[in-house]
Amino acid sequence: MRKKITLIGAGQIGGTLAHLIALKQLGDVVMFDVVAGIAKGKALDIAQSSPVNEFNINLIGTDKYEDTKDSDVIIITAGVPRKPGMTRDDLLGVNLKIIKQVADGISKTSPNAFVICITNPLDVIVMALQKYSGLPKNKVVGMAGILDSSRFIYFLSQELNVPVQKIKSFVLGGHGDSMVAMLDFTEIEGKKINQLVSEGKLKKEKLNAIIERTKKGGAEIVKFLEKGSAFYAPAASGVEMAECYLKDLKKQLPCAAYLNGQYNTENLYAGVPVIIGAGGVEKVVELNLSEQEKKDFENSIKAVQELFEAAKKIDPSLK
Ligand code: TXD
């Protein structure tokens, strides 16, 4: 029996998610969008490519939540993306309303789904989604850290002319300008990045510029596209999380997860290393952070907390 994967939002990221899932044959796909035609058209278009890429899955498009019933995985991109000059936080008001609708829609029809939220501003939107839906905290998770880490690793690989597979790193904290590139946990061909800096193989200013470019990675693409934001790398990142759950891979991945005392943080979602397997978010991994990383991480947590306060002003029912 094939798994059922519902994509709430069939826009730029949603369409790319559907295509990647089809090529990987992860399961049958239901594309849901309030603009039903977008969902139906993209589902049919991808389905028509199945003979070429030899995949056998069912794809449908809909604007009816009953068609998404009993999903195993739900990936949410419903919402509006940034326009040039906007910050991710500027999307809070409009996307908070949308995520409430989505929460109402999925909680009744797919109470056992593993729910991956991508909609921005990510950390607060995924938190609102969990609170509005009442779904288990270990089954509601946000995608941002994998994307931010992938951008950071890509920029390093370009600078150092090293294959991406030879670079290990991750970015934690809020999905915003306060995100933290974990340098103590960054290795290039098995060598700590700080060692490359002290050996003069990577200038500190260059490394700082790469960190800055990672933080602004989304805005750089928004500026190029003018209408819309990044979608290929975000979709690839969301699929990695879905695959990890569906195949019980128990990978350690940077994701926006519920903190219940870990990293001295209560009742907040933020980017941390987690183990994802068949149980959803099976573990929040607590790292021994350097003093600097602890300070930077706390600063990032503070930014998420401040945005959550803003969300509570918009909707006092959020606690
Ligand atoms: O790392 C990350 N988490 C970010 C997330 C990376 C890139 C983009 N990020 C955010 O994802 C972006 O800021 C947006 O908030 C979402 C979706 O981005 P996308 O580029 O896919 O936006 P589109 O192409 O506008 O698609 C959104 C779709 C669109 O087809 C709408 O009709 C639909 O969402 N939509 C809805 N679907 C269901 N239910 C409701 N209420 C709804 N409202 C709009």
The protein residue with its alpha carbon nearest to ligand 1, atom 14, reads 81
pLDDT of 59 higher than 90: yes
Instruction: For residue 10, give the ligand 1 atom closest to its CA.
Output: 30
pLDDT tens digits along 103-114: 999 999 999 999
Catalytic residue among 19, 82, 137, 175: 175
Ligand 1 binding pocket includes 15 (Cβ within 6 Å): no
Instruction: For residue 38, give the ligand 1 atom closest to its CA.
Output: 30
Ligand 1 binding pocket includes 175 (Cβ within 6 Å): yes
Q: How far is the CA of 175 from the centre of ligand 1 (A)?
A: 16
Ligand 1 binding pocket includes 147 (Cβ within 6 Å): yes
The protein residue with its alpha carbon nearest to ligand 1, atom 42, reads 78
All residues at 6 or more sequence positions from 135 whose CB lies less than 8 Å from its CB, including other chains:
106, 107, 111, 113, 115
Of the pLDDT bands very low, low, confident and very high (cuts 50, 70, 90), residue 83 is confident
> Is 175 an active-site residue?
yes
pTM for this predicted structure: 0.98
What confidence score (pLDDT) does residue 86 get? 87
pLDDT of 211 higher than 90: yes
Q: What share of the chain is helix, strand, coil (3-state, %, to 5)?
A: 50, 20, 30
What confidence score (pLDDT) does residue 26 get? 98
Instruction: For residue 148, give the ligand 1 atom closest to its CA.
Output: 1
* Strand ranges for the chain from DSSP E: 4-8, 28-32, 59-62, 73-76, 114-117, 140-142, 167-168, 171-172, 180-181, 187-188, 191-192, 251-260, 266-277, 280-284
Instruction: Supply the mean pLDDT for the chain.
Output: 97
Measured between alpha carbons, how far is 303 from 310 in angstroms, rounded to an integer?
A: 11
